[in-house]
Structure formats: structure tokens, C-alpha cells
């Protein structure tokens, strides 16, 4: 099941690797698996950082708009 889509800005090629074949490759070539996990960790960390930044920005705007600290 696809969970995301992408659009290339230049001409590219792609290869589809069946899940079990990919896991077997990672078992046989641990360096590949480590790089895949490292890349996924970077992606997730960036998404978390971006979400946190948006949330704190929204909170900051709400606090400024409501002037919550004016009566403290």
C-alpha cells in the first residue's frame, strides 16, 4: 500500500524491490541496513523538528494575540 507520492523535477529511474528481498539484502549487507535506518531516523527527526517548530510558532502567536502575559 502506498503511503506517499513524489514528483521528480528531472528525469529519473526507479527500481522496485520486493519487501522480503530488501530485508534479505539488509541481512546479508549490514552496512546497507545501517544506512537505511540512519536515513529513516534523519527523515523522522526532521519531520518531528518541523512539527515541533510549527506547533511552538502557533502557540507563540496565540499567546501574543491573546496577550496572556499582560496581567502577570
For 7-55, what is each residue's pLDDT tens digit? Answer: 889 999 888 999 999 999 999 999 999 999 999 999 999 989 888 888 8
Query: What cell does 58 get?
Result: 502557533
Q: What confidence tier does 63 reach under pLDDT thresholds 50, 70, 90? A: confident
**What predicted TM-score, i.e. pTM, was given to this entire model?**
0.53
φ/ψ (deg, to 5) at 56: -70, -35
pLDDT at residue number 31: 96
Distance, CA of 20 to CA of 58 (rounded, Å): 42
Distance, CA of 53 to CA of 5 (rounded, Å): 24
State the DSSP string of 8-30. Answer: -SS--------HHHHHHHHHH-H
67: DSSP letter: T
Amino acid at each position: 500500500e502506498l503511503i506517499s507520492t513524489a514528483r521528480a523535477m528531472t528525469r529519473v529511474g526507479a527500481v522496485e524491490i520486493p519487501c522480503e528481498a530488501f530485508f534479505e539484502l539488509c541481512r546479508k549487507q549490514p552496512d546497507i541496513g545501517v544506512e537505511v535506518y540512519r536515513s529513516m531516523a534523519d527523515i523522522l527527526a526532521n519531520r518531528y523538528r518541523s512539527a515541533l517548530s510549527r506547533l511552538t510558532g502557533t502557540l507563540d502567536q496565540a499567546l501574543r494575540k491573546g496577550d496572556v502575559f499582560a496581567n502577570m
